[in-house]
């Protein structure tokens, strides 16, 4: 029994030391970022989201695991059937937890707007008057917090495009923002290396929106 307890103690010590290594967090994040690219069902989305939440529990001062858990929840809700309203609400709750760790964070502010845009998309006729100004305010705030954040710009461009279509206006403003976001994505690529785990998503949406402008 004593040997068993000793072995268990040693195992727990090794496990603790392993997670204490500086690169353990990075490796766990990179693994789940790769898994995000393989999501093809709500179940896989839930698995990846929960993995990010577990990373958050073990790295309680890091905002990125919560950010990605919320992003997975949002994009899974957009892509698949299910209780979308509840998913967007849960994502917003997760984002607010992350905001306590990293206040005035442009990425988190933009993601909050993205989740709220999801709720708006479920019933724009009845929710537009209330939610549209909130979404625009969040995207505008995210841009003010970091004018080089391409995700804040392309999300605002998508919102501008939707509003232009709804009111019968021209696409000039949305197209201008889409072009700017592409420039910012190109600039962002210069920062990316094998250890980069900050958000990089959104370029495909920028290219898709801008392709409608030509």
State yes or no: pLDDT of 5 exceeds 80: no
Residue 14: its pLDDT value, please? 38
CA 29/CA 44 separation, integer angstroms: 16
Tens of pLDDT, residues 139-168 = 999 999 999 999 999 999 999 999 998 888
Tens of pLDDT, residues 71-127 = 999 999 999 999 999 999 999 999 999 999 999 999 999 999 999 999 999 999 999
């Amino acid at each position: 029994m004593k040997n068993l307890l000793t072995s268990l103690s040693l195992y727990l010590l090794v496990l603790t030391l392993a997670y204490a290594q500086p690169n353990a967090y990075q490796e766990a994040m990179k693994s789940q970022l790769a898994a995000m690219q393989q999501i093809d069902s709500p179940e896989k989305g839930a698995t990846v989201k929960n993995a990010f939440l577990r990373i958050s529990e073990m790295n309680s001062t890091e905002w990125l695991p919560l950010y990605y858990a919320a992003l997975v929840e949002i994009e899974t809700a957009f892509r698949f059937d299910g209780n979308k309203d509840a998913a967007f609400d849960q994502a917003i709750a997760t984002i607010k937890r992350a905001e306590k760790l990293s206040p005035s964070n442009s990425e988190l502010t933009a993601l909050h707007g993205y989740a709220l845009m999801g709720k708006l998309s479920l019933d724009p006729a009845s929710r537009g008057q209330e939610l549209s100004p909130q979404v625009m305010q969040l995207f505008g705030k995210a841009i003010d917090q970091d004018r080089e954040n391409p995700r804040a710009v392309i999300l605002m461009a998508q919102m501008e495009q939707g509003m232009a279509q709804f009111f019968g206006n021209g696409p000039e403003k949305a197209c201008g923002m889409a072009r700017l976001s592409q420039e910012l994505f190109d600039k962002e690529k210069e920062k990316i290396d094998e250890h980069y785990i900050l958000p990089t998503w959104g370029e495909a949406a920028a290219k898709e929106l801008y392709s409608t402008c030509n």
